Structure 1
Amino acid sequence: MTLQSTDTPVPVQNALSPRNVLTGLAILMLMAVPVLLPHLQLLITLALAKGLAVVGITVILRAGQVSFGHALFFGISAYVGAFLVTALPGADLVLVLLAGVLGAGLSGLVVGLFVVRYRGIFFGMLNLAFSMIFWSILEKFYHYTGGADGIRLTRPSVLGMQLGRSDFELVLFYLAVGLVVTCGWFTLRWLASPAGQLFQTLKTNETRLEYLGLSPRRVLLSGYVLSAVLCGLGGSLMGMTQGVVTPEYVWWVRSAEMVFIAVLGGAGSVRGAFIGALIYEMVRIYASAFAADIWQMLLGAFLLIIILFAPGGIMGIFDRLIGRKPGGRT
């Protein structure tokens, strides 16, 4: 099975291209959700948090690798934030977010030093192994981690102010939108930069990097740490939105879910990661509400249809609709 990538290494795009225009309209629509569709605000916040983590998977896909354990960084970031809030009640939201991202970045560097030595299935399974080791630690060290019950987060302050639940959720929503725009733009710029182009060369001709005197391991490590930070951002945001973190954050199903969403949106597409996350959450919530016994089957059937008839994912379908040649990776 081969998944068609929906991206091409074109560093500059027309500012008024259909994709950019629709992206701007989508951002404006998101900004209006709390006013026009307040009942979807929390759901979309969770979807955007998950989308940030999926962008981390997308970065790895650009190098031709698939990770089945990136939920490790998703969970580490969430737990770092939980420990901080427990130790310092009322800690500021920005501090909690930064601490979680730092924890994810450092753990990504440590784990990356081991996994960048491998490729293909070995790369994916080694990531899974690290993730499951951390899951076991969270389950067994009950007195520190809360075991399967997890840790409940008290609401952090926002710039020194204690907000009510509705105001805090509104802040989290606009924070999620801001992070999506900022991180999405940065990831696209990084992938189009010389460092990002070298990173993507790992997929097509790794030997060429060696001839240039560059270490493929170091090149892969740079993207790996970036992907861990993006997953960490999503994990911290998810934890603060839900108000509780559990070992389920690092369970292998969470990692598989991220890969599922990346394929659904368009393997290798940054925009597709967020679109896929929004569609996935909508389908999951409403399918589980109206077809609780078969919602997993519905999601599986949806993915099967995408793989068979639209290997470029949602973004590949969009390219066909606007008459663009499939393969533009944005």
Structure 2
Amino acid sequence: MKQLDRTELSLLVALPALILAAMVLPSWIVNYVQVSLGMGLVALGVMIQMRAGLVSFGQGLYFCIGGYAAGLAGKYLGISDLFALLLIGILAALIIATTLGFLLRRYREIFYAMLSLAVSMILYGLLSSTEELGSTDGFNLPVPTYLGMAPSGEAARMTLFIITAAVVVASAIALNRLLRSSLGYVNEAIRENELRVEYLGASAHNAVHVTYVIAAVVSSMGGVLWALSLGHVDPEMTNWTTSGSFVFVCILAGTGSIVAPLIGTFLLEILRVYAVEISPNTWQMILGTVMLLTIIFLPKGLWSLLAKSSTAKRFDPEADANTQPGE
């Protein structure tokens, strides 16, 4: 059994901290955190693909599949149990991603990005024109239950928050271990030199396919949790603007740590709220400006600031010079 690294320990510490914060912070802040946690899972799906040099502009596809699978199960099958809805969302994403993966694993760079976007927009068009699914308005989800328990009021809000936080932390730890596994190292090698990976006997196509499926499953979980938090789904979940926001998060936060996209998602939500308040008609320009400045001055994202600070602390020439032998 692998030892927990610093990132995983930080995530385990963050879980009770989030729960305690939810008990004392205003409900609107807690709501933003909860929504950000669901979307953060989708950003993690984008991030693990970027570690392989693949940029998915269509990750909203699985975000939407998870939310709609949960919504349809509640609307037509009467299922309201959160864990059952999560399982249904995962199975739907698993089937679709495994099928589409045979096509997408053959492409790289802009072709991968555009093809993933095209598939996502096909679903957007279908949902927007289907009146039985609410067309562009979408439809509401049932209030979730938990293994037969149906809390109400404040207890219901806290229960959903705790489970959402626990699922996100567990998923982040699992993905962190994925990045440290042989598949994670192969993905980094694919990003640097795919031809050399093939020469060494590993299959780049298989590695990309597996990574794509894992990213889809994680994103669908985020879609289910997000949809249950808001109690509603609509086709905007798979629109290109939604998928683009997940890529924006990874650019803003960086891909140096599994924690970065989770923090970046919350920062983006706060930035969007204040941008809309400051400039309701041109708030997109504020987001675009922030993205442009980040790319120019912090090409590896905000997380690179923490990485530089950590490196500077580990290697301080003045401290080393003042250290006496034997200290």
- Output the TM-score relative to the length of structure 1: 0.88
Segment drifting more, 261-270 vs 225-234: 261-270
- Which residue identity does 2:213 align to in structure 1? V
Question: What secondary structure, in the 3-state scheme, does the structure 2 residue paired with 1:106 have?
Answer: helix
Aligned to 1:48: 37
Residue 135 (1) aligns with residue 124 (2): yes
Aligned to 1:264: 252
Question: What secondary structure, in the 3-state scheme, does the structure 2 residue paired with 1:31 have?
Answer: helix
How far apart, CA to CA, are the structure 1 residues paired with 2:72 and 2:35? 21
How far residue 218 of structure 1 moved from its aligned partner, in angstroms, is 0.9
Structure of larger gyration radius: 2
Question: What secondary structure, in the 3-state scheme, does the structure 2 residue paired with 1:269 have?
Answer: coil
Segment drifting more, 37-46 vs 23-32: 23-32
Question: What secondary structure, in the 3-state scheme, does the structure 1 residue paired with 2:202 have?
Answer: coil
Report the CA distance shift for 1:20/1:189 in structure 2 as closer, same or farther (over 3 A).
closer
How far residue 22 of structure 1 moved from its aligned partner, in angstroms, is 5.6
- Which residue identity does 1:244 align to in structure 2? H
Residue 35 (1) aligns with residue 23 (2): yes
Residue 106 (1) aligns with residue 95 (2): yes
Out of 233, 241, 245, the residue aligned to residue 253 of structure 1 is 241
Q: How does 1:177-326 map to 2 (within 5 A)?
A: 177-267=165-255, 269-324=257-312
Question: What secondary structure, in the 3-state scheme, does the structure 1 residue paired with 2:18 have?
Answer: helix
Aligned to 1:328: none
Aligned to 1:89: 78
How far residue 38 of structure 1 moved from its aligned partner, in angstroms, is 3.3
Question: What secondary structure, in the 3-state scheme, does the structure 1 residue paired with 2:84 have?
Answer: helix
Number of paired residues?
Answer: 312
How far apart, CA to CA, are the structure 2 residues paired with 1:289 and 1:27? 31
Question: What secondary structure, in the 3-state scheme, does the structure 1 residue paired with 2:162 have?
Answer: helix
How far apart, CA to CA, are the structure 2 residues paired with 1:216 and 1:21? 31
CA shift digits 1:117-161 (9 cap, x unpaired): 111111110101111111111112212x11101121111221112
Segment drifting more, 107-116 vs 22-31: 22-31
How far residue 97 of structure 1 moved from its aligned partner, in angstroms, is 1.0
Question: What secondary structure, in the 3-state scheme, does the structure 1 residue paired with 2:302 have?
Answer: helix
Aligned to 2:319: none
How far apart, CA to CA, are the structure 2 residues paired with 1:111 and 1:165? 41
How far apart, CA to CA, are the structure 2 residues paired with 1:20 and 1:126? 34
- Which residue identity does 1:32 align to in structure 2? L
- Which residue identity does 2:61 align to in structure 1? L
How far apart, CA to CA, are the structure 2 residues paired with 1:299 and 1:13? 39
Aligned to 2:112: 123
User: Which gives a bigger RCO, structure 1 or 2 (Cα 8 Å, sep 6+)?
Assistant: 1
How far residue 240 of structure 1 moved from its aligned partner, in angstroms, is 0.7
Residue 174 (1) aligns with residue 162 (2): yes
Out of 64, 72, 75, the residue aligned to residue 61 of structure 2 is 72
How far apart, CA to CA, are the structure 2 residues paired with 1:21 and 1:77? 29
Question: Any gaps of 5 or more consecutive residues in structure 2?
Answer: 314-327
How far apart, CA to CA, are the structure 1 residues paired with 2:4 and 2:82? 37
How far residue 25 of structure 1 moved from its aligned partner, in angstroms, is 5.2
Report the CA distance shift for 1:22/1:183 in structure 2 as closer, same or farther (over 3 A).
closer
- Which residue identity does 1:34 align to in structure 2? A
- Which residue identity does 1:59 align to in structure 2? I
